[in-house]
Structure 1
Amino acid sequence: MMKAIMATKRILITGGAGFLGSHLCDRLIADGHDVLCVDNFFTGSKDNIRHLLSHPRFELLRHDVTFPLYVEVDQIYNLACPASPVHYQHDPVQTTKTSVHGAINMLGLAKRTRARIFQASTSEVYGDPEVHPQPESYWGRVNPIGPRSCYDEGKRCAETLFFDYHRQHRLEIKVVRIFNTYGPRMHPNDGRVVSNFIVQALKGEDITIYGDGQQTRSFCYVDDMIEGFVRMMHSPADFTGPVNLGNPGEFTMLELAEKVLKIVGGKSKLSFHPLPVDDPKQRQPDIRLAKEKLGWEPKVCLEDGLKETVAYFRRVLER
């Protein structure tokens, strides 16, 4: 395990009321830091951080990162951006602006305050890959004009900006590429496969399978992902990334559906639909770099993580 960083830092988290952001808020507060959570609540929710609102080391600011922000901080985690197809395709122009203008504004803040800055990039920078599993050295196969490109290319451009600021202005940057992550506080209507399957099963509805269900994904539990974030932020300054964070366990959509139905029970059936445009057929991270540089690898198996996530969605649907 890495040594804990004892000195209290002022840490900004953009997208801090979202799924990953709220768990990161919890972790950094628990580690003894002062946290400024910034969110415009397009996909984030106050329910995710309500338990922190009265905490003396937590502050919430409603703000859109496409506009400049003037605060004093030691570290910045830039997580702001809709991350599910349903949400990022709802307003694709705003999605691209959030990735690109948001990166420019946060990098400008980091330049002024000399803060170390972390970019939550995505496995979608690899597009529909021809290399499997995907190493960080793979440049990707992305459609630049498709319905998903607002997110894929926005994140690719943000990575470009981070590395240009690093080279030109000597900023300390940390870039991670996040593979599918799941767990409590996922949005029930975000269109992602784990939340889709669980909500449909709990409601007794048919499980929606796109294509033949043989396309694969790798699923990382949220606690493992947050541990990777923190280790990356605390890694030596000369290690910029990008680094893949995800669980290399690979499952077909049919296998995931079977696991969800086994946990939930009920009598939901499978319903097959056409595959969405540019939907990747394979997704699996090569995490050798994370193991080598961060001493990180996932600990939570899919079955255990799904049980926690199902329990969360049961509570949400009973409200």
Structure 2
Amino acid sequence: MENDILRDDIASFIKEGQIEFTKFANKVFFITGATGLIGSLTIRTLLYLNKVEKLNIKIIAGIRNEEKAEKIYRSYLPDKALSFYKVNLGVDKIDITGKIDFIIHAASTTSSKVMINNPVETIRTAVGGTRDVLELARKNNIESMLYISSMEIYGQVFKKNKILESDLGYIDLTNPRSSYSEGKRMCEMLCTAYYTQYGLNVIAARLAQTFGPGILPTENRVFAQFAKSAIKGEDIVLHTRGLSEGNYIYTMDAISAIFVLLLKGKNGEAYNVSNENNHTTIRNMAKMVAEEFSGGKSRVVVDISEVNWGYAPDVKMWLDNSKLKSLGWRADIGLRESYNRMIMYMKQG
């Protein structure tokens, strides 16, 4: 049975009518990273859409761990619209028979620990995996492919104004964690290359930090750590000074952007996916969560180790979303409500 909070989110999003979902009728989607946050939410949305609109959409979910996939999709396993394709991107060859109409490439390393301890594998998964997915898209002459990129592609941008898609900054190549951000840059370059050389319909979505209902129990990124601490009434511990300016977006607002870009995005280009109102420092966000959601039990504590490669360097950027908004997209959910709904989701289990 789907969590009530998440089900309500998906139902409300579809009911809004912001997306022309009928254009996906009888289409086949291949979605990588199907056990991650973005991949799993996109798949759940499409399956629910099938249920209420009878669109006969077929979904091939790219996974690496069958046991994890069965847990996430346990209530959907009888649904014949969903099938799993096991693949270790960057290592295994993708060999899918049959027509594919849309691809959402959401597979990526998300753990800082893995980025630091296994930078070679991080790059191989990103670059090798993306190349193979692009080849699959080219051979299938797909209608559209969306590459899920990240705001970390910008690195450190020394600019006071909001960050446009053309404003790339500095990435420290001596930091092993840069295997993620530099890998994302190379993947976008591959998308550009396939668009330029082969005319492939491919777009990149540079997501701000995305959270809300649908996060996995194992999620350990900073937004989840803050929420878990507040739920338990424990101190929120910062391992940096918390000066980085975060850019955040609610889960279903991000899913909405994905569908808008598939249908309306300009091929060969990248789009910031952010809520400009959800912009704050890490420290101020921690303070808000402690004050609003811990019942007065949590404090914000700073504990900085002398050397810690595990965190991205302090950045001061504010992602401009005007390019995406020009396609008719909008972000609806603010930062406090994002936490409110995510914490309700986490408590419900």
- Matched residue, 2:94: 69
- Matched residue, 1:142: 171
1:11 aligns with one of 29, 32, 39: 29
RMSD: 2.2
1:303 aligns with one of 311, 336, 346: 336
Distance 1:43 1:287, change over 3 A: farther
Alignment of 1:1-319 (within 5 A): 1-4=18-21, 5-31=23-49, 32=55, 33-41=57-65, 45-66=69-90, 67-71=92-96, 72=98, 73-115=100-142, 116-131=144-159, 132-235=161-264, 238-249=266-277, 250-261=279-290, 262-274=292-304, 276-277=308-309, 278-292=312-326, 294-316=327-349
Distance 1:173 1:6, change over 3 A: closer
Asked if the contact 1:188/1:196 (under 8 Å) is kept, the reply is no
Asked if the contact 2:240/2:304 (under 8 Å) is kept, the reply is yes
Secondary structure (helix, strand or coil) at the match of 2:170 reads: coil
Q: Deviations over 1:169-218 (max 9, x none)?
A: 11111111111111123245544221011112223332112333332212
TM-score by length of 2: 0.83
In structure 2, what is the Cα distance between the partners aligned to 1:156 and 1:42?
29
Shift of 1:46: 3.8
Asked if the contact 1:188/1:195 (under 8 Å) is kept, the reply is no
Query: Where does the alignment leave 5 or more consecutive residues of structure 1 unmatched?
Result: none
Report % sequence identity: 25
Deviates more, 1:97-106 or 1:199-208: 199-208
Deviates more, 1:57-66 or 1:218-227: 57-66
Q: Which amino acid aligns with 1:286?
A: D
Q: Which amino acid aligns with 1:22?
A: S
In structure 1, what is the Cα distance between the partners aligned to 2:77 and 2:40?
12
Shift of 1:43: 12
Q: For this pair of structures, how many residues does the alignment match?
A: 314
Q: Deviations over 1:122-172 (max 9, x none)?
A: 111101221242210112211123122110111111111111111111111
Show structure 1 runs of 4+ deviating over 6 A.
none
Shift of 1:61: 2.4
Q: Deviations over 1:252-273 (max 9, x none)?
A: 2232123322123251222202
Secondary structure (helix, strand or coil) at the match of 1:50 reads: coil
Query: Where does the alignment leave 5 or more consecutive residues of structure 2 unmatched?
Result: 1-17, 50-54
Asked if the contact 2:155/2:315 (under 8 Å) is kept, the reply is no
Q: Which amino acid aligns with 1:177?
A: R
Asked if the contact 1:84/1:190 (under 8 Å) is kept, the reply is no
TM-score by length of 1: 0.91
Q: Which amino acid aligns with 2:236?
A: I
Deviates more, 1:179-188 or 1:75-84: 179-188
